[in-house]
Amino acid sequence: MINRMMSGLLAAVVVTGLYSCSAKNISSNYYYEHEKVLEKIEQSYKELYRQKPFTLAFTDKDFRTVSVEIITDSLSYIYEFTVGEPRLSDTLRKYNFSATGITRLIDLMQSIRCTWVNNFDYYVDEQKKFLILISIKPVALHPLLTYKKYYILTFYSQPQQFDEKGRLLDKRKRRRLRKINGEIFHRINDKVCYTVSGQFR
């Protein structure tokens, strides 16, 4: 009898784990739990990017290998480094980047398992606008068998429009959902949205 009750309890816990920890709940909570670090990443990336365009991505599960894309007018350079190796700072200095600033940003990204930070261009009424896109691979419970493992956060400069379900809308056609890489984005606040995706970029 006790065994049967224990089995029942275990099954209930598993089912609760599978269904109540929906990716949607985790990701909006995730933002508030890590708000300060996320904002720091966004602000510092925006400032460093303004000085010289680049993107950063972690390319291994242990968050030890970082891929740096250095964007110039004529060529984009993609290099991979192990975090902390002298070659990384040397390269950043060679391209006139703030080596200290970018190293600090890499540390921040590593601390919350942020896989990618990028500056995204988009167009409203033919005018170019930018948003900062931050991808994270959190260590959190996921519904089993799901392939969506990355939280994608987008930081806009201006307040955005949403429908009654909190889904991001296209500004040009107010009733059309705005999809980025095929994903629908949800409201966290007026300028920050999130989605859960199978890919981090």
Partner 1 sequence: MFIQGFLFLFSMSFFAVGPAIALHKASRWEEPTVTSTREEAIAFIDKIKVLAPSSSWSNIKPALFLENLRLNIHQPLSIYPGRGTNFCGYGALTYLMLQDDPLGYAKLLLQLYNDGKATFGKVTFDPSPEVKKAAGTLHFKGVLDIHPAEQMWFLSLADHFKGYLNFFNRKYDPGDEDSFWASVNYAKFNNMARKLLNYKVHAKGSDLIRPYTNGLYDYISEKLKTGIVVLYINNRILHKKKLEKIKLAVPTHFVVLQEISKVDDIVTLVYWDYGGRTLIQLSPHFLQKIVFGVSYCTKKEVND
Binding residues (CB under 8 A) for partner 1: these are 57-61, 67, 74-79, 115, 121-123, 126, 137, 149, 170, 172, 178-182, 198-201
Q: Which is nearer to partner 1, 1 or 75 (CB)?
A: 75
Phi, psi of 167 (to 5 degrees): -90, 140
Measured CA distances, 79 to 47, 101, 118 (Å): 21, 18, 16
Q: Which is nearer to partner 1, 31 or 116 (CB)?
A: 116
Q: Which is nearer to partner 1, 43 or 146 (CB)?
A: 146
Distance CA 59, CA 103 (A): 16
HSE value, Cβ hemisphere, 13 Å, CA-based, for 72:
7
Q: Which is nearer to partner 1, 165 or 173 (CB)?
A: 173
Nearest approach, Cβ of residue 10 and partner 1 (Å): 29
Nearest approach, Cβ of residue 12 and partner 1 (Å): 31
Phi, psi of 23 (to 5 degrees): -55, -30
Structure tokens at 71: 């964007």
Using CA atoms of 44, 49, 55, 61 in order, give the dihedral in degrees to the nearest 10: -10
Phi, psi of 40 (to 5 degrees): -65, -45
Bridge partners of residue 66, in order along the sequence: 58, 81
Nearest approach, Cβ of residue 115 and partner 1 (Å): 7
Nearest approach, Cβ of residue 136 and partner 1 (Å): 11
Q: Which is nearer to partner 1, 35 or 80 (CB)?
A: 80
Nearest approach, Cβ of residue 87 and partner 1 (Å): 12
Q: Which is nearer to partner 1, 44 or 199 (CB)?
A: 199
> Are 130 and 121 within 8 A, CB to CB?
yes
Nearest approach, Cβ of residue 134 and partner 1 (Å): 15
Q: How many residues does the chain have?
A: 201
